[in-house]
Chain A
């Protein structure tokens, strides 16, 4: 059982380039989330999805877009990368109830130069 898998694990981008981060979960979870982790800031929610075909903005959505075309996948896109988007990105998934555990991927370390 793979759980939550993120691709890629590392990436270096030049300013202005675009890329897509892929998150895949095999637990049939309804809810999926993208967080970014910056030193001393904890994890901040970028976007989330409460089901296939639905997405919503979190705390820090600017500069990112997401899509949830299939229940098991949640894509995070950067259309024009900026150095401020250098961060570690985590995907998570959970069942619909708020008291259930969120399962996290291993993270994607993105550097924008």
Chain B
């Protein structure tokens, strides 16, 4: 079974500071991993995904994430936060080789960016 744990339901950073959002997963088979962003009153938008190619994945808006199998982690980072990054972020996992395509989501991390 798959599950996702996002450490920290709320993260606050100053504009220009490093953003680090943590995600750990459990999966019985090699996973595919995703980060989604949700702006207020919007649907979810894909930031980036890991699908067993390069372990360091670059996404939109300057975000990147590194897949670490030994730590079962897929933490999301951005070197310099911008006010527009304020949103809720969701880590999700699905099974590689699965034909179902369903996602298992973490509980989300609300990112606040202070000026």
Contacts and interface: CB of A to CB of B under 8 A. Distances in A.
Contacts of B96: 98-99
Interface residues of B, number: 29
Nearest to B9: A40
B100 A48 contact: yes
A106 B41 CA distance: 8
Interface of B: 4, 9, 32, 34, 36, 41-46, 49, 51-52, 90, 94-103, 105-108
Interface in A67-109: 90, 92, 94-102, 104-107
A101 B107 contact: no
Nearest to B107: A42
Contacts of B32: 98-99
Contacts of B34: 101
A48 B52 CA distance: 25
Given A42-B105, A58-B102, A90-B44, 19 more contacts: A40-B9, A41-B107, A42-B90, A42-B108, A45-B102, A45-B103, A48-B100, A95-B101, A96-B101, A98-B95, A98-B96, A98-B97, A99-B32, A101-B46, A102-B44, A102-B101, A104-B43, A104-B44, A104-B45
Nearest to B6: A42
Nearest to A35: B105
Interface residues of A, number: 28
Contacts of A112: none
A83 to B, nearest CB: 22
B107 A99 contact: no
A22 interface: no
Contacts of B101: 31, 94-98, 100, 102
12 contacts: A4-B43, A31-B101, A33-B102, A40-B107, A48-B100, A48-B102, A50-B99, A99-B94, A99-B96, A101-B49, A102-B101, A107-B41
Nearest to B108: A42
